[in-house]
Amino acid sequence: MGNKKKHEQYFQEKPEEDTMIRWFEEVSEKAGLAQTETLRCIIQTNYETEYLRKWLTKDPKSMDPVELETLYTSLVPLISHVDIEPYIQRIADGDTCSVLTNQPITTLSLSSGTTDGRPKYVPFTRFSSQTTLHIFRLGAAYRSRMFSLRNQGRALEFIYGSKQFQTQGGLTVGTATTHYYASEDFKLKQKVTRSYTCSPQEVIFGADYKQTTYCHLLLGLHYCDQVELVTSTFAYSLVHAFRVLEEVWDEIVEDIRSGTVNSTRVTSPNIRKAVLDVLSSPDPRLADKVEERCRALENSYWQQLIPLLWPNAKYVYSIMTGSMLPYLDKLRHYAGQHLPLVAADYGSTESWIGVNVTPTCPPEKVTFAVVPTFSYFEFIPLYRHNNLTTACVYDTDNNNTNNQNDISAPDVDYFEADPIPLSRVKIGQQYELVLTTFTGLYRYRLGDVVEVAGFYKGTPRLKFICRRKLILSVNIDKNTEMDLQLVVEMACRLLKKNANSDSRVELVDFTSHAYSMTHRDPGHYVIYWEVRGKADDDLLMKCCRKMDLAFMDHGYVVSRKSGTISALELKLVEKGTFKKILDYYIANGAALSQFKTPRCTDNISLLRILDRCTVRSFFSTAYV
Ligand code: AMP
C-alpha cells in the first residue's frame, strides 16, 4: 500500500489523531503567519496590563499584525528572569491588578532551576494546562502512527506531584507537572489517548518520592500484562525507578503474593489504602511469575528488564535529550535492543516549544518541530568564540554580510546578534530562545541553546543543544554543560572498555565544580563521579587524564599549558552520594518528575555532601 493510502486509512480509523496531525500540518505550513497572529492575540489580550503599557503606548487593535510585530520587537526589551521577578513577586503577594496578564493569575509554577541553584516562580494559567494537554495529544498522534496501543491499555508512569504551598497572597505554588497532574486535563489526556495510568492520584501525590516509587513499581507489576507504555517526564526518573526495583523486587513479589503493601516501605495510610483498593486480593500466580523473571534478571545485570517484566510494552517514552543523554546507555540496557526509546517533546515551565514528529528517530538525533501557536518565539543567533569566523563567512556567502558591527560585544560565553523571528532562522545556526507567552512573559530569554536542524513544513525543527549558562570557568576558559557531558562520555568509554572482564563498571551520575584561584592553587576543575562496580586506581587515573585532555576550549587548553589552571581532579564519591543530592533538592521543594542532576555546582551544601562522600581522588598528569 502506498504511503498516502496508508495515511488515509489510518486517519479514517483514528479521527482524534487525524484531527491533531492535520491541524499541526496546516499551522506549520504557514508558521510565520501563525506566529504573527499568535503575537497579535497575546498583545490584544494583555494590552491593558501594567507591564505592556510601559512599552506600548499605541492601541494595538487598530494596527496591522505585521506592523504590530515590528513595533513590539523594537519597543519591548529583552529580559531575563531577574527582570520580571519583582512583578511576579507582587502577584505572589496578592496584587490582583493586571500586572502581567489581563486574566488573574491564581497559580504559580516552580521551574526546576537546578542549573541556577534556586527555583523560579513562573505564572501558570488555564492556558498552560491546556497547551500541556494539546502537546501530549499531538505527540501521541504522531507516535500512534508508528506504534499501535491497545484501547484501554495501561501506562506505567513514573510521575510525582510535588508539595504545593500558598504564597502570602494566597496563590498556589507547585511544579508545572504537579498542577497538570492535579488538573482535569490530566484525566482527559488518559481518555483521549486511551491509555490509563497504573497509579491512583494518592500515589502520584504521595509526599514522599520513595513511597511513590515503590507503589508505582508494585502497581506496574500488578498490571504487567496490560502495560503498553513505560514513561516518565525526564529519563532520570525511569533509571532511578529501575535501580530501586533491583533492590526491592523481592519485597514487591511478597506484596503481590499476599495482596498487601509492605508496611516499612509504605507508611502513609492514604497511599496504602489507595494501593490496597487496586490490589484487592492475593495473586500467588503472578507473584511466582514475577519472581522467576526477577531471579533470571538478577543474573543478567537486569538487561532487558522492561520487556521481560512488561512484555506488552510497545515503547519507552521520556525526555532523553540534553542533560538526560548521560542516562541513555542505562535506559537502553533496561530496554534491550528491540524496545524503542522514544524521546519526549521539548518544553519548559514557561512554555511548551516543540513536538517530536519522528518518534522512531534515535534520541541522540531527535529534533522538535516548533508549535507556532503556543507562544511567540524569537531566536538570538549565537556564535561561539571559535566558530565566529565560520559564521561570518557563511553569512557573507549569502550576501548578507554579518560583520562584527552587527554582533554585540562578547557575552561571557557566546557572541550574539539581534534576535530574529521564526520565519528567518537558518539551518545549522545555533540560537538562544526568547519567549513571549500567553501567561505574561514578554521577550523572555529562556537560556536554552538550540540548533535549527531543518524544517517540518514551514516550522523549524530544533535540536536541543544545552543550557546557555557557562558551567565551568576559572579564568579565560569557557565550558558549557554540553562540553562537560562530551568529556565525561569519552572517559566513560575508556572506563567501560578497560574494566576487568569479570567486573561491570558503570558511571551512576556526575557533577563538577570549578575551584577558583587561591594562594596555593591557580584554580582547577573537579569532576565528581559515582561509579557502580569496581574500577581500579590505574584506570580511574587514565579517565581523569582523558577528561583533562578532552576539554577542547581554547581558553582551557592555553591555561592548562601555561599552568594558569592546574590539573583536573577526579573525585570518586561513595555509593548513594547522588541519592543524597536528590534528597537535598527534594527537601528544598523540587519534584522528582522535573529533577535534573546539576552538572556543576557552587552550592556550599552540595559541595559539603560531595566532599564528605569522596573516597578517592586523582589528579590529571596531562600537560606536564
Ligand atoms: P523545567 O522548566 O524546570 O521543567 O525545565 C525546563 C528545561 O528542561 C528546559 O528549558 C530545557 O533546558 C530542559 N528540557 C525540557 N525539555 C527538554 C527536551 N525535550 N530535551 C532537552 N532538554 C529539555
How far apart are alpha carbons 230 and 225 in whole angstroms? 12
Q: Which residues of 571-590 are buried (b: 16+ CB within 10 A; e: fewer)?
A: bbbeeebbeebbeebbeebb
Which residues, 6 or more positions from 371, have their beta carbon under 8 angstroms from its beta carbon?
A: 24, 27, 134, 135, 138, 352, 353, 354, 355, 459
Atom of ligand 1 nearest to the CA of 177: 4
How confident is the model at residue 469, as a pLDDT? 80
pTM check: above 0.75: yes
Q: Which three cell numbers stand for residue 305?
A: 528488564
347 within ligand 1 shell (Cβ under 6 A): yes
**Residue 409 pLDDT exceeds 90:** no
In 3D space, the residue among 611, 614, 604 whose CA is nearest the CA of residue 117 turns out to be: 604
CA of 614 to the centre of ligand 1 (A): 30
Please name the residue whose Cα sits nearest to atom 16 of ligand 1.
346
pLDDT of 116 strictly over 70: no
Q: How far is the CA of 5 from the centre of ligand 1 (A)?
A: 37
| Phi, psi angle pair for 431, to nearest 5° | -140, 155
Instruction: Specify the pLDDT at position 111.
Output: 81
Q: Secondary structure of the chain: what % helix, strand, coil (to 5)?
A: 45, 20, 35
359: amino acid identity, one letter: P
Pocket of ligand 1 contains residue 115 by CB under 6 Å = no
Looking at residue 618, what is its pLDDT? 97
Determine whether the shortest distance from the Cβ of 111 to ligand 1 is under 6 A.
yes
Tell whether ligand 1 has an atom less than 6 A from the beta carbon of residue 467: yes
Q: Is the dihedral of CA 405, 407, 408, 411 positive or negative?
A: negative
What is the 112 CA–ligand 1 centroid distance (Å)?
A: 9
The DSSP code sequence of 199-233 is S-HHHHT-S-HHHHHHHHHHHHHHTTTTEEEEEEE
Q: Which atom of ligand 1 is nearest to the CA of 114?
A: 3
∠ CA 281-223-311 to the nearest 5 degrees? 140
pLDDT at 112: 65
Q: Mean pLDDT, the chain, as a whole number?
A: 89
* CA 344 to ligand 1: nearest atom: 19
Task: Determine whether the shortest distance from the Cβ of 555 to ligand 1 is under 6 A.
Answer: no
| Among 132, 181, 346, 449, residue to substitute to test ligand 1 (most atoms within 8 Å of Cβ) | 346
Q: For 144-163, give the secondary structure using H, E and C.
A: HHHCCCCCCEEEEEECCCCC
**Eight-state DSSP code of residue 359:** T
- Mean pLDDT value of segment 481-490: 93
pLDDT at 185: 82
Residue 219: what pLDDT? Answer: 98
Calculate the alpha carbon distances from 111 to 176, 177, 348, 352 in Å: 7, 10, 8, 13
463 C-beta closer than 6 A to ligand 1: no
> How many whole angstroms separate alpha carbon 116 and alpha carbon 119?
8
Q: Is the pLDDT of residue 4 over 80?
A: no
Interval between CA 517 and ligand 1 midpoint (Å) = 33
Q: Are 20 and 137 in contact (CB under 8 A)?
A: yes
Q: Is 619 exposed, middle or buried (0-12, 13-18, 19+ CB in 10 A)?
A: middle
In short, whether 132's Cβ falls inside 6 Å of ligand 1 is no
Residues 6+ apart with CB under 8 A from 587: none
Query: Which residue, judged by its Cα, is nearest atom 20 of ligand 1?
Result: 321
CA nearest to 408, candidates 380, 429, 445, 436: 380
For the chain, state the CA radius of gyration: 25
Q: For the segment 548-581, what is each residue's pLDDT rounded down to a tens digit?
A: 999 998 889 999 998 989 999 999 999 999 999 9
pLDDT tens track for 446-476 = 999 999 999 999 999 999 998 888 788 898 8
Task: Say how far apart CA 89 and CA 85 lie, in whole Å.
Answer: 6
- In 468-587 the beta strands, taken as DSSP E runs, fall at 506-515, 524-532, 569-573
Pocket test for ligand 1, best of 160, 448, 468 (most atoms within 8 A of CB): 448
Q: Are strands 315-319 and 195-197 parallel, antiparallel or unpaired?
A: unpaired
Of 290-299, 382-391, 510-519, least confident by mean pLDDT is 382-391
DSSP 379: E
| Residue whose CA is at the smallest distance from ligand 1 atom 3 | 112
Q: Ligand 1 mean position to 348 CA, how many Å?
A: 5
Residue 387 has pLDDT above 60, yes or no: no
Look at 180-189, 222-231, 237-246, 380-389 and tell me which has the smallest mean pLDDT: 380-389
Q: What is the pLDDT of residues 98-115, one digit of tens each?
A: 999 998 898 999 886 543
Q: How far does the centroid of ligand 1 lie from the alpha carbon of residue 345, in Å?
A: 9
Q: Which of 112, 365, 110 is nearest to 236 (CA)?
A: 112
Question: Taking 90 as the threshold, does the pLDDT of residue 162 lie above it?
Answer: no
Backbone φ/ψ region at 501: left (φ over 0), alpha (ψ -120 to 50), beta: alpha
Between strands 153-158 and 195-197, the pairing is parallel
pLDDT at 358 over 60: yes
Select from 319, 449, 469 the residue to mutate for testing ligand 1; criterion: most ligand atoms less than 8 Å from CB: 319
Burial class (CB in 10 A: 0-12, 13-18, 19+), 545: buried
Cα 482 to middle of ligand 1, angstroms: 14
The lowest-confidence range among 238-242, 359-363, 500-504 is 500-504
Alpha carbon dihedral 47, 50, 54, 59, in 10-degree steps, equals: 20
Q: Give the mean model confidence (pLDDT) for residues 141-159.
A: 90
Length of the chain: 624
Residue among 309, 1, 340, 20 nearest 148 (CA): 340
Which residues have CB under 8 Å from 89's CB, separation 6+? 121
With 70 as the cut, is the pLDDT of residue 332 above it? yes
Q: Which residues contact 5 (CB under 8 A, 6 or more apart)?
A: none
pLDDT at 6: 54
Cα 53 to middle of ligand 1, angstroms: 31
Average pLDDT (257-264) is 96
